[in-house]
Structure 1
Amino acid sequence: MFFVLSKVVGFFIHPSNLIAVICAVGVVLLLTQWRRAGTRVLAAGVVLLLIAGYSPLGSVMLLTLSERFQPWQYAGKAPDGIIVLGGALDSDVSAARNSVELDSSAERVVAALELARDYPRARIVYSGGSGNLLGDSVPEAPMAAELFERFGIAKDRLLLERRSRTTAENARFTRELVSPKPGELWLLVTSAFHMPRSIEVFRAAGVDVVAYPVDWRTRGWSDAAQPFNRLSSGLARMDVAAHEWAGLLAYWVHHRGEKVVPTP
């Protein structure tokens, strides 16, 4: 039930969806006796659309998260394990095409392959089920395993967690799967903007991980002053940023944390 509720609320959290709803309400009001109110609502929707689509607000929101954890540097101790969070593969298209298809977060898999090559003793956990609310549920982890094996990663190094639908479930099910021991070094590979929320839930689940951020999406703080030249690009970045911030705020409220964004 909670998963369904989170998906429904998540629909309206995305600015592109919320703005569309506002504009639709404005159009409906224009067809009624409340035409003046409809004009105002529709105008507000258009203004919000222009701000979200062309201003660098989405970049600022994303940078605040993605710059929190810096790239990992080898400090003399090789990792004992590498945890890769799902989201790098399009499981629905992969299943339909009978081919492993990567999506916009493909850097997660690329980084994991590089780490697996550089640290051949490290175990690799791919945590990814299906977050689909509608349609058939196709878990991502088995498809990732197929890709790893194509690149020569031995099966006995791979641990697949295929039940998770959320980041919190990524953490809980991964802990049950690997039971990390004190003193072990486990790297957590996920998108830089997703790292603060991931670190927070893994810590709460009792899994001590070290951030290995990838998939930065921005060039750095210079993007905070750079407007977008396409409406769709700005909206896409706003959607990603709003989703992450909403997740952090919800987790902070639910668990009464001290900080909304965790410290490195």
Structure 2
Amino acid sequence: MLDQALCDRPVSQWLVLKSMLSNWLMTPIFVVLPLLILVFLPWMIPRLRWKRFWSGLGTVLLVIYFTATFPLTIAVAKKGLVAFIPPDPGTTVDAIVVLGRGEPFRHSRVKVAAELWKAHRAPLIFASGAGDGSEIVERLKAKGIPDAALGEEHCSRTTKENALFTSSVLQPRGIKQILLVTDPPHMLRSLLTFKGMGFEVISHTSSIPSELTSSRKAMLMFYEYMGLVSYGLRGEFLKQNLAQQKNPPIAKVKNSAKFNLQKQHSLF
């Protein structure tokens, strides 16, 4: 298991800002009203320069905001995110890694992970994510997955931390080949990040919850495109060396039946 201090650290300012931005964009009146002011206010100020520019900018942003939630726009954005994901060849691996994404996504992830395990694709399922890791494991137990085949970390708050903390737990135990389970928009960034951490990755997507609103789905696409750019510029997709990192998370080995790799090969 990971050092508990990793779970107890304060939330980063970036995650706070991201949450605030999401709440703002998901509340139409907070977006539409300022943009309408930008469209009409310049014409009410007689000496203001570049009236057409500011009014036109507001109009364009309004059009983008409303068309972003169209089903066709969402479908095209999703297609761009999944176009370069290799198909699952169906081979066996060392472990199935399930990434958390919040409560609405858990059902499909648990279902996919359980099906993969029962199909003998891997002897171990490892769940990763703050607020998700422990809950996913409990749901997998309810589906009949034995305790010895399950592991989790519940400290990671970003995709980079998913990969970093998972590698610090699994790689010292010789686990290199993984089946990665997450939703289609999130898969490309996750795949590249886990490969950067030294894993051999096979992707296997789980569905986006049907109850998500169009605005929520559009937000997922927006974050993933921004995440790809951000991670790419920061070099997160390049090969990482955990041993050379300044303060890497150290996986503490704990003798427990919950994560006994000596037992896992006897489960099939």
Secondary structure of residue in 1 paired with 2:68: helix
Q: Could you report, residue by residue, the CA deviation over 1:94-146 in whole angstroms, capped at 9, with x for unpaired residues?
A: xxxxxxxxx146322111000111118611100011xxxxxxxxx22111121
2:216 corresponds, among 229, 236, 250, to 236
TM-score in terms of structure 1 length: 0.69
Q: Aligned pair in 2 of structure 1 residues 123, 33: CA closer, same or farther (>3 Å)? A: closer
Alignment-derived partner of residue 114 in structure 1: 115
Distance 2:209 2:189 in 1: 17
Work out whether residues 127 and 170 of structure 1, in 8 Å CA contact, stay in contact via their aligned partners in 2: yes
Alignment-derived partner of residue 251 in structure 1: 231
Distance 2:121 2:90 in 1: 15
1:105-144 pair list within 5 angstroms = 106-119=107-120, 122-129=123-130, 139-144=131-136
Alignment-derived partner of residue 72 in structure 1: 88
Alignment-derived partner of residue 96 in structure 2: 82
Greater CA drift, 163-172 or 178-187 = 178-187
Q: Aligned pair in 2 of structure 1 residues 48, 177: CA closer, same or farther (>3 Å)? A: same
Q: Could you report, residue by residue, the CA deviation over 1:190-212 in whole angstroms, capped at 9, with x for unpaired residues?
A: 11221110011112222222212
TM-score in terms of structure 2 length: 0.68
Aligned alpha-carbon RMSD (Å): 3.5
Alignment-derived partner of residue 76 in structure 2: 60
Greater CA drift, 140-149 or 162-171 = 140-149
Distance 1:189 1:256 in 2: 19
Q: Aligned pair in 2 of structure 1 residues 180, 210: CA closer, same or farther (>3 Å)? A: farther
Work out whether residues 13 and 246 of structure 1, in 8 Å CA contact, stay in contact via their aligned partners in 2: no
Distance apart, 1:74 and its partner CA: 2.0
Alignment-derived partner of residue 5 in structure 1: 14
Paired residue type of 2:118: R
Indicate the structure whose relative CO is greater, using CA pairs within 8 Å and at least 6 residues apart: 1
Q: Could you report, residue by residue, the CA deviation over 1:56-115 in whole angstroms, capped at 9, with x for unpaired residues?
A: 22321211112322441224xx2221111112x52xxxxxxxxxxxx1463221110001
Q: Aligned pair in 2 of structure 1 residues 20, 243: CA closer, same or farther (>3 Å)? A: farther
Rg larger for = 2
Secondary structure of residue in 1 paired with 2:180: strand
Work out whether residues 14 and 239 of structure 1, in 8 Å CA contact, stay in contact via their aligned partners in 2: no
Distance 1:255 1:3 in 2: 20
The yes-or-no answer on 1:214 pairing with 2:206 is: yes
Alignment-derived partner of residue 185 in structure 1: 177
Alignment-derived partner of residue 138 in structure 2: 146
Distance apart, 1:237 and its partner CA: 3.0
